[in-house]
Amino acid sequence: MSLFQYDFMIRALVGALVIGLTAPALGVYLVQRRLSLIGDGVGHVALTGVGVGLLLDRSPVITAVIVSALGAVAIELIRERGRTSGDLALALLFYGGIAGGVMLVGLSHNSSNANLMAYLFGSLTTTSPADLVVIVVLALVVLVAMIALRPALFAICHDEEYARVSGLPVRALNLLLAVTTAVTVTIAMRAVGLLLISALMVVPVATAQQLTRGFLSTMAAAMGLGLLASGSGVWLAGTVNTALGATIVVLAIAMFLAVAVAAAARRALRRPAVPAPAAAEVHPPEVVLER
């Protein structure tokens, strides 16, 4: 009996494939800027948005998008200032976000431990048709922005000062990256989970970097690997009844390890053998005869 005869499995597959395509397309810029963990921080803030939605009996996806977008903008403004206290401010924002979210979810009459776990780690059965529409629409907006603005976004990720001198709107582009990160984290919470989406942004990119050299080829390969991990993760999670987000991330990490081992083996085979040093010839001492 096919798993995909059920509507909730089809919704889970479509949602996971969309996220698997979108998250690495954004993640390639975050990795380039050494902001690989920002998705994790935004996920903490998004949990507060989930709590607000449950408490007010509104769509948690919409409220989480709004709250996490505001949090991401705050993170970007703190990063832009570059002060020593920035790390402390970010830590307060992250931990306050997850603490506030847990508290608000607990106050909500719609909450339960299973419901909270579904938002944190993803669930096959929690994606409703309305949620799927929101996920697909917002993911397409993020994906189009990442592809259409690729030259400008690559410029600020590679050298922000040069991009500013070149006349690019650096602050606007930085805020765009922050907001699209928040949107991607939020729409992925039903499929991958708020605590695991950062891995889907980063791991396919890290895997693709071992296979390709150019930025565009890395982006395309990462998106393909994200699709593969997400699609196979839905099937495996439905077959063995495991958490969807954890299954997708484990498969993505397994791909990374396989590629890393293959790349190391290939480098070892290509490494030229170092010839053994020749044995030193022993010459008898010269005898100088007196004339």
| Residue-range domains of the chain with CATH | 3-267 (1.10.3470.10)
Q: Is 167 left (phi over 0), alpha (psi -120 to 50) or beta?
A: left
Residue keyed to tokens 């419901």: 115
Determine the pLDDT at residue 229: 92
Instruction: Return all residues near 56 (Cβ < 8 A) that are at least 6 apart.
Output: 63
Instruction: Return all residues near 22 (Cβ < 8 A) that are at least 6 apart.
Output: 139, 142, 143, 146, 184, 187
Residues in the chain: 291
SS3 content of the chain, % helix, strand, coil (to 5): 75, 0, 25
Determine the pLDDT at residue 74: 82
Q: Which of 283, 208, 216, 202 is nearest to 249 (CA)?
A: 202
Q: Which of 183, 187, 163, 182 is nearest to 173 (CA)?
A: 163
- Separation CA 54–CA 56 (nearest Å): 6
Q: What does the block give as tokens for 168? A: 């690019």
Determine the pLDDT at residue 286: 53
The secondary structure of residue 3, as a DSSP letter, is G
Q: Answer for the pair 127, 15: CB distance below 8 angstroms, yes or no.
A: yes
The dihedrals phi and psi of 167, each to the nearest 5 degrees, come to 95, 10
- Separation CA 149–CA 140 (nearest Å): 14
Residue 196 burial by CB count (10 A; 0-12/13-18/19+): exposed, middle or buried? buried
- Separation CA 111–CA 114 (nearest Å): 8
Give the chain's radius of gyration (CA, Å): 25
Determine the pLDDT at residue 178: 87
The dihedrals phi and psi of 266, each to the nearest 5 degrees, come to -65, -40
Determine the pLDDT at residue 290: 47
* Residues with pLDDT less than 50, the chain: 84-85, 287-291
Q: Which residue type does 85 have?
A: S
- Separation CA 58–CA 43 (nearest Å): 19
Determine the pLDDT at residue 225: 94
Q: Is 122 left (phi over 0), alpha (psi -120 to 50) or beta?
A: left
